[in-house]
Chains A and B, each alone.
Chain A
Amino acid sequence: MSPQISPIADTAHDLELAERILTPDGTRLENPQLDAFLTDVDAASMRALHRDMVILRRIDAEGVALQRQGQLGLWAPCQGQEATQIGTARALAPQDYVFPSYRETGVIYARGAEPGDYVRMWRGEEGAGHDPAALRVAPLQIIIGAQTLHAVGYALGIRHEGTDEVAVTYFGDGATSQGDVNEAMIFASSYQAPVVFVCQNNNWAISEPVSVQSQYPIAGRAPGFGIPSLRVDGNDVLACMAAMRWALAHARSGKGPAYLEAVTYRMGPHTTADDPTRYRREDELDEWRRRDPISRLEAHLRAIGELSDDQVAETQAAADVVAREMRAECLGMLTRPPLAVFDGVYAEPHTGLERQRGEYAAYLASFEGEEGR
């Protein structure tokens, strides 16, 4: 079942080296490595993936809009990366546990996030936007690469207990330069931990092109750690799903960790605080617009007569509903009262912090009744 992994011998950053099933114009290719992982994916499944990606893009656009309107402090857009996130996350089993970075809006969407979950952290109401236990997704991680080690530790627990779960971690091309990510690969390999590394190589770490992080295809590093890897076209949702199914099956079967590099592109800024016009060319964006993940699958589905204008319109309408719910949740959020700043630092009472809380409570109480004067 597991495809043969050929060593990567060149040092080019050519997307054509990545595994692909759908060409940018929507033509389906035969892929001897990955087709075996898609035998159950029919037109209805592909329409569902299309719908997921359309909704995700709409959520992302709403996040940007809410930030521009002053409702969010920050937003990290994932436009362009829909196929990577949806394709890989839809391959997960319910019992798997995910350790994402901050850009994985599509991953928490696929794991069943509620509309408010997308914005709670970015609005500054909470440190974590969603309930980790409910989604089986750790809080979005902002420290670059730190979460990869958490996934390995979680996977050690899985291995110890002998269950069929897999821990999955998402990170970017920039993170591959971090010590933590490399340490995570060493620990995962040494203990043969059931963990899947998903590197979303979106070509940019804020203003630094991937060439600053790596002069060699990133997936090519993993075999040096004893971890099999695949490099896939990250804008091809079918390739992403198939490759992730391979990686998950590998890890789930007790063969140890697996590694995916999904080559995609961050169409928007790093965050809403970033200005990519200072560091990248418009013609590069044009090039990637032609490789768009949604229009690619849409072209394929239309070509095989499995997607109508009505269906597209219905999907767009459903996406608008999600965006409206997200906006309503966002605008309706109630900020916790002042003393909540002290809540949850410790699980058990801490006398030093309790003293500070008492002092601040007394300070706040000293203003009570002043407004009426």
Chain B
Amino acid sequence: MTELTLGKALGAGLRQAMRDDEKVVLLGEDIGKLGGVFRITDGLLDEFGASRVIDTPLAESGIVGTAVGLAFRGYRPVVEIQFDGFVYPAFDQIVAQVAKLHYRTQGRVKMPITIRIPWAGGIGAAEHHSESPEAYFVHTAGLRVIAVSNPEDAYRSLRQAIASDDPVIFFEPKRLYHHKGDVDLDAPLADAAPMGLARVARSGTDATLITYGAMVSTALQAAEAAEDEGISLEVIDLRSLSPVDYDTVAASVRRTGRVVVAHEASREAGMAAEVIASITELCFEYLESAPLRVTGHDVPYPPAKLEKYHLPDLDRLLDAVDRVLDRPNSLTGADA
């Protein structure tokens, strides 16, 4: 085991993927000499050269469209979108081309493209640097969507995403880039659990708290705080947003009967809505109370000084837990 930050684990994953397969090429803005604005690609230019670590013009549609052409040629491009809020110029290429070419050609053309997106808020950034656009991509047939929450997952699932013959939108929580964890750098990819499985991050019996990305840390803190009050929370890290591992989710909900789904992204037609709808279909007779969402508000991502009022925090999670457990909460008041 090696202790690495999440950012370094991603860099190690890229390096290993490039060593394993010469068809893996990287494209993005400032990923060469600079090593990316978050230094994820640090050192890769020196090892693999400018024809595999490609600094691109500042045009996101151009980056993804060029990756499509490389995929036609048999490459496995890994694209870095510099910030979450910069992905929209590439939306057409992702949704209309990357996602559809396999279907359009019935598999004759494969799109093994990984699109890495430094993602979500909590770092006090400028506008367009803190967004959570995952629902757009989950809604798009033909894409797989991964959101990582720790260094070990980051290292493994990035390599799995690159090795996948399907396109993968790969979300990296910016505010965890410097969080450390143990990574087994030598574990063979073939022995790893398949990409797409959820992880029970903490076992519990009273309610299931489902989330992904940086919110997993918040959820684990909430579970610890709840334990002090004698409440046992199960925390599920979805890890894969398309597909969602409903076997793991449903098994938990059938035991606890109570569910909170949380994410930073805004609420309307978001990931939590989809997960709760599916839970309702799969586990209706097991539910003891209405599943709840704890999400960002339906507002544009607010200015940095206001983001703490937007992002779900430990207290908002615990309030929702109180609601699904029919305990006194913000709606009932302390006397209920």
Interface residues of A (CB under 8 A from B): 97, 99, 126-128, 131-133, 138-139, 143, 146, 148-160, 167, 179-180, 183-184, 186-187, 190-191, 343-348, 350-353, 355
Contacts and interface: CB of A to CB of B under 8 A. Distances in A.
Contacts of B57: 183, 186-187, 190
Given A154-B70, A346-B142, 14 more contacts: A127-B100, A128-B104, A128-B105, A139-B109, A152-B65, A156-B54, A156-B70, A180-B65, A187-B59, A344-B103, A344-B107, A345-B103, A347-B110, A348-B165
Interface residues of B, number: 52
Contact of B69 (A128, A153, A179, A353): A153
B59 A186 contact: yes
B56 A348 contact: no
Given A143-B92, A149-B65, A183-B61, A127 B103 contact: yes
B66 A133 contact: no
A183 B90 CA distance: 12
6 contacts: A150-B69, A155-B69, A160-B52, A186-B57, A347-B166, A353-B141
Contacts of B51: 159-160
B106 A154 contact: no
Contacts of B106: 126-128, 343-344
A153 B67 contact: yes
Contact of B246 (A99, A139, A167, A351): A351
A143 B242 CA distance: 25
B305 interface: no
Overall SS of chain A's interface: helix
Given A128-B104, A131-B108, A184 B62 contact: yes
B166 A154 contact: no
B245 interface: yes
A352 B142 CA distance: 11
B97 A146 contact: yes
Contact of A138 (B72, B102, B112): B72
B108 A133 contact: yes
B245 A351 contact: yes
A167 to B, nearest CB: 7
B65 A150 contact: yes
Interface string B140-159: 01101000000000000000
A183 B112 CA distance: 22
Interface in B82-111: 89, 92-93, 96-97, 100-110
A348 B54 CA distance: 28
A223 to B, nearest CB: 18
B73 interface: yes
A157 B69 contact: yes
A153 B68 contact: yes
B75 interface: yes
A345 B67 CA distance: 19
Given A132-B105, A183-B57, A156 B69 contact: yes
